[in-house]
Chains A and B, each alone.
Chain A
Amino acid sequence: MMRELYKKTKQLFPLGDLTEQRHDLVFVSIPHPFLSSLLRHLRDKEGFSHLVLLTAVDWLERGEFQLTYLLCNRSKAWDMGVRVVLPREGATMESIHTLWPTAATYQRELKEMFGIDFPGSPGVNDDFILEGWDDIPPYRRDFDTLKFAEARFTQRPGRESLDPAQHMAKHHSDGS
C-alpha cells in the first residue's frame, strides 16, 4: 500500500529509493529544493497531516547533514520519513513553519544544536536550551563531550572510571 503511494508520488517529485522499514513506516529521500512542495502535497493530498518530528543526523565522514521529517497519516496508520541531505558547511534549509507552526520549535533547536539555519523561521536565532554558548554547536559529531567535560570539570579524587569491555577482558585474562 505504501509502495503504491510511493509510485504515485514519484511521478510528481524526484524521490530517491524507498526504504520499507515496516509495513507502516517507510523512508524516502528528496533533493532539498523540492522538500517544501512534497510536504505540502503529502499534508494536503495524502492525509499526512501530523508532523511527528523533525531532526538531524550528522554524517561527519560524508560531510553531510541528514534532516528527517517524519509525517503521520493517522487514518491509515502510516508513517513516512522524508530525508533531505545538506552539505555540512553553511547548512541552510527552507523553513516549514508555514505548514506546521510547531516546526519553528524544532528548527530553533536544530539551529542551536547543529548549526543548521532556517531563514525566516520565527525565533530561530533565539537561545533555546543553551544560553551564552560560545563553542561549536554541541550536537555535531565533531563536538567532543569528553574533552569539553574534562576542560571544565574536575573529577572527584579517588573515583575510578573503567571501560566495560577492557575491564571484562582483563577480568577473563586474569582467570578470576
Chain B
Amino acid sequence: MVYQPDRSQYPQQRADGSLDIDLESGKYLKLWQGPQHPGITGNMSLELTVCGDEVVEAKTHVGYLHRGFEKLMERRTFIQCFPIVCRICVPEPDFNEYCYAAAVEELAGIQPPERSDWIRTLILEMGRINSYLMFLGGQAGSLGLGVVAQWSTYVRDLMLDRFEELTGARIYHMFILPGGVRGDLPEGFQQRMEETLKEIERTLGDIEDVMFCNAVFKKRTVGLGYIDPALFNPYGVTGPNARAGGVAKDVRRDQPYLIYSQLAFEPIVGQDSDVFARADVRRRDLLLSIDLIRQILAGMPKKGPVMAKIPNVLHWKIPPGETYIRGECSRGEYGYYLVTDGSGYPRRVNVRGPSYTHAVALLERLIVHVNISDVAGLMVSLHTYPPEIER
C-alpha cells in the first residue's frame, strides 16, 4: 500500500472539525477489533468506523486490565510497592523494577554498589530480548506468518530459563529492589547464557529468511503505517518507532544510566518509518542486545557486593522530594515520576509507559485510511502493551 497523505478529505469534515459520519446512511459500519480478537495486542480494543474495507475513524479503548497500581502504591510502604510494580508491564517487567528502585534510591540518598549496576543492566537487556522476541512473533502472526511466533517463543523460553536460574522466576522477577539486586550470578551462568545467545542468533537468521526476505511480508508492510518524523515530538514518539524514522532517540545513548556509558554501541536507526522499517530496527536492536549482554558479562567486576545497606524497610521514611527516572525499554522511553512527602508511603507514583502515547493519539491518527486487514499489522508495529497505559 502506498502512503497517500492527501486522502484526509474523506469523509467530509464538519465545521467543528469532527467527521461527518452518518451511520444511518448505510455507507459506514462500526466494527470492534478487540478486546478478544487475534489481531489485537493485549487487553485493549479498537472501535473502527469503516467505509467498505477502509477505516475512516478509530478510537482506542483501554481499561480492561486496570488495576490502579498508582493508587495502590499510595497505601503501601516503599518496600511493599517493590513486588507490585513489575506487574505494570507483563512482557518486560524489569524496567518498572529498575525505575522504581532508582527513584527511591535517589530520594532516599542510597548509592547501590557498582556490581549491582552491571547485573541490573544485564537483566534489562535480557528483558529487552524477550520483549523483542514476542514482538517478532506478534508482528509476523498479524500478517499470517504463524511459524515465526513458534520459533521466537522457543528461544524466548530459553531466555526465561536464564531468568529463572538468576532470579528464581520466569515472568515477574522481582529482582531489582531499592539498594541493589537480590542476588549474584549463579555458577556457570556466563557459559549457559552464551549457549542461549547463540541459539537466539541462529533462530534470528531463520526469522530473517522467512519474515524479512518474504515477498508477502514486504508487500504488506513496506509503506504501511508511515509516521512522519515531524510527528515524533508532537505525539511523544520514542524508541524504535522513532529510530525507524531516522531519529536516533535512545535513552541508553542520550542520557546514559546504569553502566551504558561503559558499553560500546550506537543506536540502531532505520529510514523509512513504516511497519517494515520498525520491525527491522527491532530485529537489529535485538542483535545489539545480544552484543551488549556479551560485553556486560565480559566486563563485569568479578567480585563485590550487590546490595547496599538500606534502612529497616518496615519503618522506612523518605524525605520530601520529587524525581523522574527514565530508561530505554524495548518500546521507547519508560519512566517513573515519584513524589515523597516525608512519610513511609509514596505520595504519588506516575508511570510513563511508551504505549501511552503510541497506542492512543498516534495509533488513532495512523489508522485512518488503512485497510481493515492491515489494522492488526499496523497496531502491532507500534509495539504497544496496554497494561502500561492503564497502570
**A→B interface (CB under 8 Å):** 19, 21-22, 24-25, 27, 49-53, 55-58, 68, 70, 74, 77, 79, 81, 100-102, 104-106, 127-131, 138-139, 141, 143, 145-146, 164-165, 168
B66 touches A105 (CB 8 A): no
A105 touches B314 (CB 8 A): no
CB distance from B76 to the nearest CB of A (A): 10
Cα–Cα, bound, A2→B68 (Å): 35
22 pairs across A/B with beta carbons < 8 Å? Answer: A21-B106, A21-B321, A22-B106, A22-B323, A27-B322, A50-B236, A51-B236, A52-B333, A52-B335, A53-B324, A53-B337, A53-B352, A56-B348, A79-B324, A101-B235, A102-B235, A102-B236, A102-B360, A104-B361, A129-B390, A130-B63, A139-B71
> What residues of B have a CB within 8 angstroms of the CB of A100 in the complex?
233-236
Interface string of B206-246 (1 = CB under 8 A from A): 00000000000000000000000000011110100000000
Name the CB-closest residue of B to A105.
B360
Query: Other than the known A53-B335, A68-B322, what 13 A-B pairs have Cβ atoms closer than 8 Å?
Result: A21-B321, A21-B323, A51-B236, A53-B337, A55-B337, A57-B339, A100-B236, A101-B234, A101-B235, A102-B235, A128-B63, A129-B62, A143-B71
CB distance from A2 to the nearest CB of B (A): 14
CB distance from B320 to the nearest CB of A (A): 11
Given contacts A100-B234, A102-B235, contact A164 B314 (CB under 8 A): yes
| A-facing residues in B348-383 (Cβ within 8 Å) | 348, 350, 352, 356-357, 360-362
Q: Which of B70, B233, B333 has the largest number of chain A CB atoms within 10 A?
A: B233
Name the CB-closest residue of A to B72.
A145
B348 touches A77 (CB 8 A): no
CB distance from B77 to the nearest CB of A (A): 8
Interface of B is mostly: mixed
What are the nearest 9 A-B pairs in CB distance? A129-B63, A55-B350, A49-B233, A57-B348, A53-B352, A102-B236, A102-B361, A105-B360, A165-B314
Cα–Cα, bound, A39→B254 (Å): 22
Contact for B75 among A51, A106, A146, CB less than 8 A: A146
Quick check: is B347 within 8 A (CB to CB) of the other chain? yes
Quick check: is B255 within 8 A (CB to CB) of the other chain? yes
Quick check: is B170 within 8 A (CB to CB) of the other chain? no
| A-facing residues in B46-96 (Cβ within 8 Å) | 62-63, 66, 68, 70-72, 74-75, 77, 80
> What residues of A have a CB within 8 angstroms of the CB of B255 in the complex?
24, 77
> What residues of A have a CB within 8 angstroms of the CB of B233 in the complex?
49-50, 100
Quick check: is B156 within 8 A (CB to CB) of the other chain? no
> What residues of A have a CB within 8 angstroms of the CB of B357 in the complex?
102, 105
> What residues of B have a CB within 8 angstroms of the CB of A24 in the complex?
255
CB distance from B66 to the nearest CB of A (A): 5
B390 touches A52 (CB 8 A): no
Given contacts A57-B347, A77-B254, A165-B314, contact A25 B323 (CB under 8 A): yes
A130 touches B66 (CB 8 A): yes
| A-facing residues in B77-124 (Cβ within 8 Å) | 77, 80, 106
> What residues of A have a CB within 8 angstroms of the CB of B75 in the complex?
145-146
Cα–Cα, bound, A79→B322 (Å): 13
Cα–Cα, bound, A22→B361 (Å): 31
Contact for B324 among A52, A143, A145, A168, CB less than 8 A: A52
Cα–Cα, bound, A24→B324 (Å): 10
Cα–Cα, bound, A56→B71 (Å): 12
Cα–Cα, bound, A176→B371 (Å): 68
Quick check: is B315 within 8 A (CB to CB) of the other chain? yes
Quick check: is B252 within 8 A (CB to CB) of the other chain? no
Quick check: is B249 within 8 A (CB to CB) of the other chain? yes
> What residues of B have a CB within 8 angstroms of the CB of A105 in the complex?
356-357, 360-361
Contact for B362 among A25, A51, A53, A102, CB less than 8 A: A102
Q: Which of A105, A145, A164, A165 has the largest number of chain B CB atoms within 10 A?
A: A105
CB distance from A85 to the nearest CB of B (A): 13
> What residues of A have a CB within 8 angstroms of the CB of B333 in the complex?
52
B68 touches A145 (CB 8 A): yes
> What residues of A have a CB within 8 angstroms of the CB of B324 in the complex?
25, 52-53, 70, 79, 81
A131 touches B352 (CB 8 A): no
A58 touches B348 (CB 8 A): yes
Name the CB-closest residue of B to A166.
B314
Name the CB-closest residue of A to B253.
A77
Name the CB-closest residue of B to A164.
B314
B62 touches A145 (CB 8 A): no
Contact for B66 among A19, A21, A129, A145, CB less than 8 A: A129
